[in-house]
Amino acid sequence: MTLIKRTQNVPAWPSFFNDFFDRDWLDWTNRNFSNTNTTLPAVNIKESADRFEVEMAAPGFEKGDFKIELNKDVLTISSEKKVEKETSDDQQFTRREFSYQSFCRSFSLPDSTDRDNISARYDNGILKVEIPKMDHAKDRPVRAIEIQ
């Protein structure tokens, strides 16, 4: 299973210069390298004998915030979350890093996956998507073959 990487066009020059001067250069997260000042949730992909498991770290979300779609061999996990910019007179932030925003991650599934039985659950800030392998793709134990 592979992560699909998308390339973006170079931002317009005024936006480029604004981003350059507005950035916090001590912040080395992915946020400094995105023109939308967002970070993508970190992903672990595990493979076992009978399945793939995608774990996505997405704290601060709720189960209903996610949308998981399968289009042919591409699994897409996305979220549309509105950023609330609430301010009050009695609170002033010197730094505000909580940023739960929209994202979209896509994964190319191998032919060996059982696309009809994909399942997902969200618990304690981790979205887990289980993608079973088809029977013919599962590892089988070693067996001796008799010579005739």
Q: How far apart are CA 54 and CA 113, in angstroms?
A: 13
Does position 57 have pLDDT exceeding 90, yes or no?
Answer: yes
pLDDT tens for 77-102 read 998 876 556 656 677 777 766 666 78
Dihedral of CA atoms 96, 97, 100, 105 in degrees, nearest 10, equals: 150
Q: How far apart are CA 32 and CA 58, in angstroms?
A: 19
Beta-bridged to residue 61, according to DSSP, are none
Q: How far apart are CA 44 and CA 3, in angstroms?
A: 11
What is the topology classification, in CATH, of domain 41-84+97-137?
A: Immunoglobulin-like (2.60.40)
Q: Give pLDDT, residue 83.
A: 58
Q: How far apart are CA 6 and CA 106, in angstroms?
A: 9
pLDDT tens for 108-117 read 999 999 999 9
Alpha-carbon distance values, 9 to 15, 34, 35, 36, 113 (Å): 12, 12, 10, 13, 33
Please indicate whether residue 21 or residue 76 has the higher confidence score (pLDDT).
76
Q: Which residues contact 108 (CB under 8 A, 6 or more apart)?
A: 1, 2, 3, 4, 73, 74
pTM of the model: 0.63
* Highest mean pLDDT (candidates 15-19, 59-63, 129-133): 129-133
Give mean pLDDT, residues 109-130: 94
Does position 29 have pLDDT exceeding 50, yes or no?
Answer: no
Please indicate whether residue 54 or residue 3 has the higher confidence score (pLDDT).
54
Q: Give pLDDT, residue 118.
A: 96
Q: How far apart are CA 125 and CA 66, in angstroms?
A: 12
Average pLDDT, the chain: 77
- Nearest 5°: the CA angle 126, 96, 54 is 15
Q: Give pLDDT, residue 31.
A: 46
Question: Which of 16, 4, 34 lies closest to 99, judged by CA?
Answer: 34
